[in-house]
């Protein structure tokens, strides 16, 4: 482990921090010193009371709202505006009440257990060591290959799993998850997908990386529930690279940052991080066989296609939209939840250095997509555990629809 892990071992405490929603255009008026993606003080600061962070944004009734985390020192500024609502007076209490580790909503009474791996619940957020136990034990009970593709800054293995559902078919479906540490619904969903691919005996070959960012994911469990990046030490005050800004696809462009304290910090160069190098190498090696690629994120309820970095349509725009429409219909039929579809740049935001754009443009995988799972900003990254199975089942339905459109293979329910 590097010095960062040893020196920052006390869990991040958000007691006294307010979560507030207000119109995004009000933010610079109330907080003129805030640039949008950088904390006033990074975690680990001696004075966290001064911290200010935009947790996420919400689009409602043709307006954009910002959900902010305010340290106690900033609470008084809200008196200057009447157009805001308090989501939580105490973020730490909100996390502890039911949206943190190992806490499951009381509304859900039925336990959903894996039928392949003992003592593993699919309806519960699982820490890194449990996810890796699940993958390792699958080798003994299912036709899978689990292997290490690289090692993180802190010495953790980056694991991949290959499922050979049809040895006569060279084509592969690529799925990755957990590139952003705080998006816990992402690894929970991909584990469900692995389980279903095996239980249904899908005649499809999958290649998956369930936890793209092991260091960051572990950090979100042990230190800071809202951590996004990898925890690579960059400066004395700021650390971490946004791994989904670190790919060689319009690197250093719009929607990324060269500020090491930014949540969107792209890193010093493309593929500067061991995680992106490891995953990129595996994709590049298998690029001729990968016919469908999906990156799982949260949140926004969006299925997207390239580009992220450019609002211009791709040469495959019509094909992409046909696939996305099939996905949208399949998802909606599962639980009646509507997901938006379209190019990421025009459906959500413009961003550079995305893995999806790199897979599409550089690796030549025509059918490269990204999904932003539930919800639309009510809980954001703190999605209650009782939404794991509904989210995962509708996502699996969407993936099956995509496989049928792209590979012409139907997977039974």
Q: Which residues are catalytic?
A: 372
Strand, helix or coil for residue 134: helix
Question: What is the residue whose two structure tokens read 């496989």?
Answer: 403
DSSP, collapsed to helix, strand or coil, labels residue 39 as coil
- The SS3 of residue 138 is helix
Q: What are phi and psi of 298, to 5 degrees?
A: -150, 150
| CA neighbor of 210 nearest in space, from 157, 247, 273 | 157
Task: Supply the DSSP symbol for 121.
Answer: B
Tell the residue number behind the tokens 């090692």, with chain if given.
151
| Contact between residue 126 and residue 187 where contact means Cβ atoms under 8 Å apart | yes
Distance (Å, whole) CA 71 – CA 328: 39
Buried b (16+ CB within 10 A) or exposed e, 40-53: bbbbbeeebbebbb
- Give alpha helix (H) positions in 91-127: 91-94
Place of tokens 């190992």: 102
What is the edge-to-edge ordering of all strands in the sheet holding 157-164?
A: 144-151, 157-164, 205-209, 172-177, 290-298, 368-373, 302-305, 340-343
- Specify whether the CB–CB gap between 371 and 305 falls below 8 A: no
The number of beta carbons lying within 10 Å of the beta carbon of residue 16 is 17
Kindly tell me the sign of the dihedral angle through the C-alpha atoms of 115, 118, 123, 128.
Answer: negative
CA–CA separation, 257 vs 53, rounded Å?
16
Q: With contact defined as beta carbons under 8 Å apart, do 340 and 275 qualify?
A: no
First to last CA, the chain: 43
- Which residues, in sequence order, are bridge partners of residue 147? 160
Residue 319 C-alpha from the chain's centroid: 25
């Amino acid at each position: 482990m590097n010095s960062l892990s040893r020196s920052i071992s006390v869990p991040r405490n958000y007691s006294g921090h307010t979560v507030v929603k207000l119109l995004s255009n009000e933010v610079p008026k109330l907080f003129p010193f805030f640039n949008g993606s950088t904390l006033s003080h990074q975690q680990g600061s001696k004075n966290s009371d001064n911290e200010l962070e935009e947790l996420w944004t919400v689009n409602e009734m043709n307006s954009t709202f910002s959900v902010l985390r305010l340290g106690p020192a900033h609470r008084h500024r809200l008196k200057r505006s009447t157009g805001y609502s308090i989501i939580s007076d105490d973020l730490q209490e909100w996390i502890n009440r039911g949206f943190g580790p190992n806490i499951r909503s009381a509304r859900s009474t039925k336990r959903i257990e894996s039928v392949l791996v003992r003592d593993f619940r699919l309806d519960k957020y699982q820490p890194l060591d449990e996810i890796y136990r699940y993958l390792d034990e699958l080798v003994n009970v299912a036709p899978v290959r689990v292997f290490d593709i690289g090692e993180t800054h802190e010495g953790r293995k980056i694991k991949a799993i290959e499922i050979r559902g049809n040895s006569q078919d060279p084509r592969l479906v690529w799925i990755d998850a957990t590139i952003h540490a705080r998006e816990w619904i992402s690894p929970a969903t991909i584990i469900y997908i692995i389980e279903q691919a095996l239980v249904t005996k899908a005649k499809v070959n999958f290649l998956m990386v369930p936890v793209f960012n092991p260091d960051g994911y572990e950090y979100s469990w042990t230190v800071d529930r809202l951590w996004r990046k990898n925890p690579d030490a960059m400066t004395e005050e700021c650390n971490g690279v946004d791994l989904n800004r670190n790919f060689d696809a319009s690197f250093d462009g719009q929607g990324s940052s060269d500020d090491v304290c930014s949540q969107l910090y792209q890193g010093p160069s493309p593929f500067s991080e061991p995680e992106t190098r490891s995953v990129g190498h595996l994709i590049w090696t298998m690029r001729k066989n990968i016919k469908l690629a999906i990156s799982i994120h949260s949140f926004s309820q969006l299925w997207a296609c390239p580009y992220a970095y450019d609002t211009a349509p791709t040469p495959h725009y019509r094909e992409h939209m046909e696939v996305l429409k099939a996905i949208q219909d399949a998802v909606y039929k599962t639980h009646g939840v509507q997901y938006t579809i379209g190019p990421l740049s025009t459906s959500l935001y413009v961003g550079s250095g995305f893995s999806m754009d790199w897979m599409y443009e550089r690796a030549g995988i025509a059918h490269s997509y990204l999904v932003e799972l539930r919800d639309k900003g009510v809980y954001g990254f703190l999605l209650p555990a009782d939404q794991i199975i509904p989210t995962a089942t509708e996502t699996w339905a969407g993936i099956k629809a995509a496989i049928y459109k792209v590979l012409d293979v139907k997977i039974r329910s």
